[in-house]
């Protein structure tokens, strides 16, 4: 990689790391567009596979900081992620059979859905002391499978579905759901990247540099999450507006290439 590419990858990784640390769910959605249109990867499948690998590692790193802060509800997060692992493998297998530009068009619609979901205000503050029960497990597992399938197909962490899914199934707070979602983001990303790597669609050099940038950005993002606690909804809506604009650009580029 030339110096210009290295700088572009580092900056892209840092931006995604900040967003993952700040928002958990939805934070990884810009990874693929950044690799395509800023870094310059030409193959959509290669961009998706590479971003999945990098986002998985960055999500795991950010998860450690949230774990230390006591915000991760491990029993609920583990059930959701374990069930979703099956879905992510199925979803990514189907995605590999779809034309790259068509997949990007589907991806743009998914980004728009992410943006809209992030603009909504949660219906309640949630229960900060939620505990796993058999009824909760029965609700979490099927939602996890469906979310994992969507994450695998679109090559995204799936946090935009994981966060509301965790909140709806368990009643946990937004802060706990955002932190706990990183368990699934890391696991789904790993499964997707391994599946894509089997077809040669992961650039490990770019993924490694992206991860370095994401690690630095993640530290800032996790610290910023605490500072923005009082303005979390406003921050999410501003980010959602950015995602919506990027979705329109991705849809335009994909449509022009078809």
pLDDT by residue, tens only, the chain of 258 residues? 799 999 999 999 999 888 877 776 566 788 899 999 999 999 999 999 999 999 888 888 878 877 888 888 899 889 999 999 999 999 999 999 999 999 999 888 888 887 787 777 655 556 667 777 787 888 888 888 988 898 889 877 666 678 777 877 787 887 788 888 889 889 999 999 999 999 999 999 999 999 999 888 888 887 776 666 567 667 777 778 888 888 899 999 999 988
pTM: 0.84
Residues 183-200: b if buried by 16+ CB within 10 A, e if exposed: bbbbbbbbbbbbbbbeee
What's the total number of domains in the chain?
Answer: 1
Question: Which domain range does residue 40 map to?
Answer: 3-257
Which tokens in the block code for residue 175?
Answer: 């802060």
């Amino acid at each position: 990689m030339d110096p210009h590419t290295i700088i572009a990858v580092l900056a892209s990784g840092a931006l995604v790391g900040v967003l993952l640390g700040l928002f958990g769910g939805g934070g990884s959605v810009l990874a693929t567009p950044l690799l395509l249109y800023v870094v310059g990867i030409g193959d959509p499948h290669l961009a998706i596979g590479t971003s999945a690998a990098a986002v998985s590692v960055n999500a795991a790193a950010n998860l450690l900081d949230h774990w230390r802060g006591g915000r991760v509800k491990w029993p609920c997060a583990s059930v959701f992620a374990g069930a979703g692992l099956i879905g992510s493998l199925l979803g990514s297998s189907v995605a590999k059979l779809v034309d790259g530009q068509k997949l990007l068009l589907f991806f743009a619609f998914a980004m728009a859905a992410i943006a809209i979901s992030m603009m909504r205000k949660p219906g309640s503050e949630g229960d900060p002391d939620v505990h796993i029960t058999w009824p909760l497990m029965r609700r979490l597992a099927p939602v996890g499978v469906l979310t994992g399938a969507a994450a695998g197909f679109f090559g995204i962490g799936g946090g935009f579905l994981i966060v509301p899914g965790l909140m709806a199934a368990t009643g946990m707070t937004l802060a706990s759901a955002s932190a706990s979602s990183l368990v699934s983001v890391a696991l789904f990303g790993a499964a997707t990247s391994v599946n894509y790597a089997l077809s040669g669609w992961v650039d490990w050099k770019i993924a490694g540099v992206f991860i370095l940038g994401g690690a630095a950005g993640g530290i800032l993002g996790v610290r910023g999450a605490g500072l923005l606690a009082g303005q979390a909804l406003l921050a999410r809506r501003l980010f959602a507006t950015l995602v919506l604009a990027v979705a329109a650009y991705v849809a335009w580029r994909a449509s022009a290439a078809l």
